[in-house]
Structure 1
Amino acid sequence: MSSISLPIPPPRRPAPPYFFLSYARSDDDPYVEQFFKELSGEVRVRAGVSSSETVGFLDRNLEMGTIWSKELVDALAMCTTFIGLCSPRYVVSEPCGQEWHLFAQRCEHFAQQSGRRSTALVPALWLPPRNMPEAVQRVQYDQERFSEAYRRDGLRQLMRLARYHDEYLEAISVLAQHIVDNAEVDRLPPLPPTERIEFASAPSAFHAETADETAPAPPKPDDVHFIIAAPNRHEARAVRGDVSYYGEQSLDWMPYAPTHTMSLAGYARDVAAKRGLTAGASAIPLNPAAAESPDSGARIVVLLVDAWTSQLDAYRQAVERHEDRRRAAAALVPRNTEDAETEHHWRLLSDGLRSVFLDRIATRDALAYRQDIISHRAFDEDLQIVLETARNRVFATSRALPSTPYGTGTNRPILEGP
């Protein structure tokens, strides 16, 4: 009796995730994990899928400045709902802003092709920030479907306090039903591989207003503002051979590449967020006749300086003008020991900067001037010290600005229903 050879079926391709959970790393991660698990469970029940099926995506490995995994990129391109856990750290995080931007592009493409607005982009209140980015305010999502406690305090507080248990379960239920409806009723098409772009080149939806140096954003009452004194790639070629640390704009400067590939401006904003501060960033103005720079509304200003600016007349003069105004609380100078060219010329570069910051150095104030910051982790630690010290000085010398809780006052974001 001859045996019959049956064709081997191709391996089953995993279904696109029902939802992508975007959150700020180190933002109460255990609570985020719990929320993700409970939301996934409710989605499974409402979608009628087995308990073993993966319905959501949560990236647990991405740290500030690291490369996005293929799994994250695929999930972002294929998921049917994007949940952004809005918090003070989230809305100043460059990676979170990039995730938001890329998914928003999918929604915009869908609207152009179908003539219908997608409801797949969902801002969920985790810890309501004082100021929502314009990109979030533009999203039309009906927050009135949730309880007053959710709108006032956010999901994190509902999880932590037993008296809000019912409101928390209700919020989970509303979000899960919305996710299932998006997947089964009005599904957002996946983004074809040919249309996907590299995350490294994606702008942050939360910081787009600071990307154009020729048209700076209007002043905002930020807690901290970072001024970047660094050339772009073209300008850097005038004084050095290796320009891999620079981009098309000054704000693209990545002094700790290739170990750490986030721009220093974005990394500084994330470090500030860990201290509970909102933050902005702009390039130092080169034109002597330029109007006041966008940091004028900030309570704390920090100057981040590329040592090579000491060899570029336009940038050196811009830093000197900035010093004359004594605007910055501190000046920080990164030094990447893996950058062989900078290491070779460090004595020349360092002496050039010291002549610019002579008065600041003479004060012997450890806050005022910090150089030789040799790694991104050392930068994190130094910047946290600078920010905490500067904030304490602000509190000691002036009356703190009144804070406006989210959901009250005139600055409340309007997230309307369809």
Structure 2
Amino acid sequence: MPHFFFSYSRKDAPDEYLYRFYDDLCREISVRSHFTIESAGFIDKNQPVGGEWEDSIGVALGTCDVFVPVYSPSLFGSSNCGQEWHAFGTRQSRAGKLAPHIVPVWWVPTPGELPTIADRIQDTRSQFGAEYQKYGLRYLMQLKENESLYRDFLVKFTMMVLAAGENPPELMRDLSLAGAPNAFALKPETTGGRARPRSGLKAGGIKSVRFVVAAGSRDEMRTIRAAVDAYGAGSLDWQPYHPEHPDPIVLHAQGVAIAHRMVSSFKAAMDDDLFELLERCQASREPVVLIVDPWVVELDAYKDLLARLDTARFGTTAVVVPWESGATIESNLRDILTVHLGNWMYAGERFFRDDIRSMGEFEANLGEVLVDMWSRIVKWSDAVRRVDESGPASRPILTGPGS
């Protein structure tokens, strides 16, 4: 069983400094404890992607004593890293409290606000000096004149990791990452000038969401696109961020729903009962999110569907449009999309999210959409309840001349 789990983004992986730090940390832990260099840590270097990756990572996350996330913009943009964090957090939550088993290392500066889950972790940078606090650990390792600062950091950080593992969380040998939500998808919202977590639904609130996917099959897309690797046998197989994220987009959407404590279901947009579903959900005040591949505007069947959708408005429905990262977009594709979904676009980001270029952006935007729809629906339901409780309003009787 590893003492610590080293969680890092694969985008940061082609970096000699990153692997050197991991090796140095394992070596230092072995010197100061009963752990061997091999058992001190776990890193998923050269691990396969897919089911085998989930199994090996799950075992390590379920048995390690300490979780060491390597803070960087890439880490917080990685859904895989978000899944790892959530899985380890499951062990912590079983204990009924969040013990200090998560010890982050700031690799490079991270601009903007941290994800809510990371913002809850104590910031210990000041304990390691001004250079580390300002520039991160990678900077200390890059310059020879910082070698003494790096060695000082390494010893102090090692002691911190060892202390964090003195009372490890309960073991979960069957821990699985399959379907685990991205812990970074939860975004903070502000109330009264103070940040608080968007923790999903309160008791009695809306507890479900419907996902509807508008995407062509591989055979359909071959008629309009040369690259069809992101498509499968049907709409629900669409993987806009393939190959980095080989799972269908709807599975990641379900993960975001789980993170917000919502149950979810999904269907293909081309089913005949789509508008019946939207009307039914409007009446029952249940959120619906349409996940639209912008390329479907080139398919005649979807043109008709979207044109019809653009003439209707459903207060419990939002549209989210993921764009493949790095894909070459035809110049007129966005214009066609505007023609067919312009009314939704102009309704604002509460109802329409566009130009989403990565899985991290998708999950963050979807999380915000779910929270906003939930808040809107709860306010609507509260207003209906108050009207029902007050009964019919008393109206004055107006009389005309000569009464």
TM-score (norm 2): 0.52
What percentage of aligned pairs have identical amino acids? 25
2:182 partner letter: S
- What residue identity is the alignment partner of 2:101? A
Partner of 1:356: 336
Report the Cα offset of residue 181 of structure 1.
2.2
- 1:105 alignment counterpart: 90
* Maintained 8 Å contact 2:72/2:108: yes
Tell whether the 8 Å contact from 1:65 to 1:260 is kept in structure 2 after alignment: no
Structure 1 stretches of 4+ with a deviation exceeding 4 A read 62-67, 233-237, 242-245, 255-260, 263-267, 312-321, 330-335, 357-360
In structure 2, the partner of 1:246 is 236
Contact 2:115–2:186 (CA under 8 A) maintained in structure 1: no
* SS of structure 1 residue aligned to 2:109: coil
SS in 1 for 2:73: coil
Q: What do residues 31-52 of structure 1 show as CA deviations (whole Å, max 9, x unaligned)?
A: 211111000000101113445x
Q: Distance in 1 between matches of 2:146 and 2:326?
A: 46
**Once the 2 structures are TM-superposed, how far is the Cα of residue 134 of structure 1 from its aligned partner?**
1.4
Counterpart code for 1:57: F
Residues 1:174 and 1:84: Cα distance change in structure 2 (over 3 Å): same
The residue number in structure 2 matching 1:89 is 74
Q: 1:189 aligns with which of 147, 151, 170?
A: 170
Amino acid at match of 2:66: T
2:180 aligned residue (202, 207, 212): 202
TM value normalised by structure 1: 0.51
User: Which of residues 293, 296, 311 is equivalent to 1:307?
Assistant: 296
Pairing 1:125–2:125 present: no
Distance 1:46 1:355, change over 3 A: closer
Q: Aligned to 2:125, which of 135, 139, 143?
A: 143
The residue that corresponds to 1:325 in the other structure is none
Provide the rounded CA distance (Å) in 1 between the counterparts of 2:66 and 2:117: 17
Indicate how the Cα distance of structure 1 residues 317 and 24 shifts in structure 2: closer, same or farther if over 3 A, else same. farther
Q: Which runs of 5+ in 2 are unaligned?
A: 189-196, 199-210, 221-231, 253-274, 279-291, 313-319, 341-356, 359-403
Aligned counterparts of 1:61 and 1:266: Cα–Cα separation in 2: 25
Asked whether the equivalents of residues 255 and 334 of structure 1 are also in contact (C-alpha less than 8 Å), the reply is: no
Q: For 1:309 and 1:65, locate their aligned partners in 2 and report how far apart those are by CA, in whole Å.
A: 32
Q: 2:30 matched to 1:59?
A: no
Separation in structure 1 between the aligned mates of residue 109 and residue 63 of structure 2, nearest angstrom: 28
Q: Please state whether the residue corresponding to 1:232 is helix, strand or coil.
A: strand
In the aligned structure 2, how far is the partner of 1:314 from the partner of 1:76? Answer: 45
Contact 1:245 1:257 in 2 (8 A): no
Contact 1:18 1:55 in 2 (8 A): yes
Is 1:17 matched with 2:2? Answer: yes
Could you tell me whether the CA contact under 8 Å between 1:128 and 1:153 is conserved in 2? yes
Residue of structure 2 in register with 1:232 after alignment: 212
Measured at CA, do residues 70 and 29 of structure 1 come closer, stay the same or move farther in structure 2, by a change above 3 Å?
farther
Corresponding letter in the other structure for 1:246: L
Using the TM superposition, give the Cα deviation of residue 135 of structure 1 relative to its aligned residue in structure 2, in angstroms. 1.1
Aligned with 2:28: secondary structure?
Answer: helix
Question: Residue type of the partner of 1:119?
Answer: P
Q: Residue 101 of structure 1 contacts residue 205 of structure 1 at CA under 8 Å; is this kept in 2?
A: yes
Separation in 2 of the partners of 1:259 and 1:147? 36
Say whether 1:78 aligns with 2:63.
Answer: yes
Task: Evaluate the alpha carbon distance shift between residue 318 and residue 122 of structure 1 in structure 2; reply closer, same or farther with a 3 A threshold.
Answer: farther
**Higher Rg of the two aligned structures:** 2
Output the CA distance in 2 between the equivalents of 1:332 and 1:235.
Answer: 13
Shift of 1:147: 1.3
Contact between 2:215 and 2:235, CA under 8 Å: does it hold in 1?
no
Summarize the Cα distance change of 1:163–1:94 in structure 2 as closer, same or farther, 3 Å threshold: same
Matching of residue 34 in structure 1 with residue 12 in structure 2: no
User: Could you give the per-residue CA deviations for residues 188-216 of structure 1, whole angstroms, max 9, x where no partner exists?
Assistant: 221142xx34x241111112349xxxxxx
Question: Larger relative CO (CA 8 A, sep 6+): 1 or 2?
Answer: 1
Give distance in 1, aligned partners of 2:325 and 2:149.
48
- Tell me the amino acid that sits aligned with residue 212 of structure 2: N
Gaps of 5+ in 1: 1-15, 211-216, 219-230, 248-252, 268-285, 288-302, 322-327, 336-349, 361-382, 385-418
Q: Please state how far the C-alpha of 1:168 moved relative to its aligned partner.
A: 1.3
Distance, in Å, in 2 between the alignment partners of 1:306 and 1:179 is: 48
Count of paired positions: 264
